[in-house]
Amino acid sequence: MRMTLVLGTFLACTRLAAAEGAAATPTEVVDRQLAAYNARNVEAFLKFYAPDAELFEFPDKLLARGTVALRERYTTRFADSILHATVAHRTAMGNKVIDHEKVRITWPDGPGTWELTAIYEVNGGLITRVWFIYGEKTVNPKN
């Protein structure tokens, strides 16, 4: 009985969160996850991803699957105090949002930038898949 009540409460909260997210457009979902990324807040960031979300290096190299793997990947990344992404160009169609992003990041050789294209797939108000096309990595010259 107690387990049924706990499970019922959990499912009701999950449905409510999904319903609230479903009202957001795919572009709004991606914008909100980008804000959480730039705040380097892993828990806020993960709220925009489905529990079984998948990240790929385009076209099909799996980088991470599921909340645990995403948390591990981004906790490490968010430790970088200069990490910040900006959208240079965006195209959206249906449930896909395609961003050309410029990321300020610390490389082993020093601070720099990384250009990439991220293709987000949004279903039910959550990001379910992301494909990354990695571009140029630059290290800023040391003074």
The rounded percent of the chain whose pLDDT value lies above 70 is 83
- pLDDT category of residue 23 using cuts at 50, 70 and 90: confident
pLDDT in tens, 113-130: 999 999 999 999 999 999
What radius of gyration, in Å, describes the C-alpha atoms of the chain?
A: 17
19 has a pLDDT exceeding 80: no
Rounded to an integer, the average pLDDT of 104-115 is: 95
Q: Cα–Cα–Cα angle for 39, 134, 91, nearest 5°?
A: 70
Give the pLDDT confidence score for residue 142 in this predicted structure: 65
- Could you give all domains of the chain from N- to C-terminal order, each with its CATH number? 25-139 (3.10.450.50)
40 has a pLDDT exceeding 90: yes
Which parts of the chain are beta strand (E)? 49-57, 61-65, 84-93, 96-107, 110-123, 126-139
Residue with tokens 């979300």: 53
Give yes or no for a contact between 42 and 33, defined as CB atoms under 8 angstroms apart: no
109 has a pLDDT exceeding 80: yes
14 has a pLDDT exceeding 70: no
Give yes or no for a contact between 16 and 8, defined as CB atoms under 8 angstroms apart: no
89 has a pLDDT exceeding 60: yes
Give yes or no for a contact between 107 and 139, defined as CB atoms under 8 angstroms apart: yes
The rounded percent of the chain whose pLDDT value lies above 90 is 81
